[in-house]
């Protein structure tokens, strides 16, 4: 038995991760079909219904949404601030953004370019391929800017990052700083909008 697992270790890991990925995609598809991922009221109610577990549900949902580059996560970021207030909302958004960034990077590092072909259109694929072949330092600057600017396509760039010759430590430093600045900017924007509306 040990010999079997040793021999097929990589294949077993691949199959298990593929099964988990399919379960996650199916769950997201169901939520999307129910309108939970695209309707503010439905999403707010759905997360709020979990009471004490709501922060964990929020983190899981935000991570799952972040794994699909074609679904904008703007809505769920705003819901985080609305449900948990400025401080908890900031913290939960930041943590979930970091986890998403790490997962996106790891996915393409493990599975390669075929992941991009599944998630991105041909037009976007060409655009992101051009970014992929930028120098390491230039790519880090592009990634940092996309992390800082709220609602920029940093999830897609994280997927690209997994294909580049950038090591994980350098990549993580970039998203650690960029995501922190982005969440701070978002909290300021939301606070200012709240003052205007009130």
CA distance linking residue 181 with residue 26, whole number of Å:
33
Sign of CA dihedral 14, 113, 65, 32: negative
| pLDDT of 95 strictly over 60 | yes
Q: 65: buried, middle or exposed (CB in 10 Å: 19+, 13-18, 0-12)?
A: buried
Domain definitions of the chain by residue range: 1-33, 35-197
| pLDDT of 167 strictly over 70 | yes
Predicted confidence at residue 152, as pLDDT, reads 72
Predicted confidence at residue 172, as pLDDT, reads 93
Predicted confidence at residue 173, as pLDDT, reads 92
- Which among 131, 128, 110, 132 is positioned nearest to 119, based on CA atoms? 128
| pLDDT of 4 strictly over 60 | no
68-86: burial string, b at 16+ Cβ within 10 Å, e else: bbebebebbbbbbbebbee
* Ramachandran quadrant class, 51 (left: phi over 0; alpha: psi -120 to 50; beta: rest): left
Neighbours of 176 (CB within 10 A): 13
pLDDT (tens digit per residue) in 10-66? 666 566 556 656 666 676 677 677 776 666 677 667 777 776 788 888 888 788 777
pLDDT (tens digit per residue) in 169-188? 999 999 999 988 888 887 77
pLDDT (tens digit per residue) in 100-134? 889 888 888 888 777 777 666 677 677 777 777 77
Predicted confidence at residue 62, as pLDDT, reads 82
């Amino acid at each position: 038995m040990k010999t079997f697992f040793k021999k097929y270790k990589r294949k077993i890991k691949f199959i298990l991760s593929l099964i988990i990925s399919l379960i996650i995609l199916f769950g997201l598809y169901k939520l999307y079909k129910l309108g939970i991922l695209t309707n503010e009221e439905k999403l707010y109610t759905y997360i709020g219904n979990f009471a004490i577990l709501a922060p964990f549900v929020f983190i899981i949902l935000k991570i799952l949404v972040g794994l699909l580059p074609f679904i904008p996560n703007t809505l769920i970021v705003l819901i985080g601030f609305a449900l948990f207030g400025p401080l908890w909302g900031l913290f939960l958004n930041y943590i979930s953004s970091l986890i998403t960034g790490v997962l996106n990077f790891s996915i393409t590092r493990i599975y390669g370019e075929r992941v991009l072909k599944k998630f991105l259109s041909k037009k976007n694929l060409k655009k992101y391929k051009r970014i992929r072949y930028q120098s390491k330092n230039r790519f880090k600057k592009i990634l940092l800017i996309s992390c800082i600017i709220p609602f920029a396509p940093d999830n897609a760039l994280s997927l690209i990052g997994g294909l580049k010759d950038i090591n994980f430590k350098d990549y993580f430093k970039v998203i650690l700083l960029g995501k922190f600045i982005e969440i701070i900017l978002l909290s300021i924007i939301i606070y200012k909008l709240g003052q205007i509306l009130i």
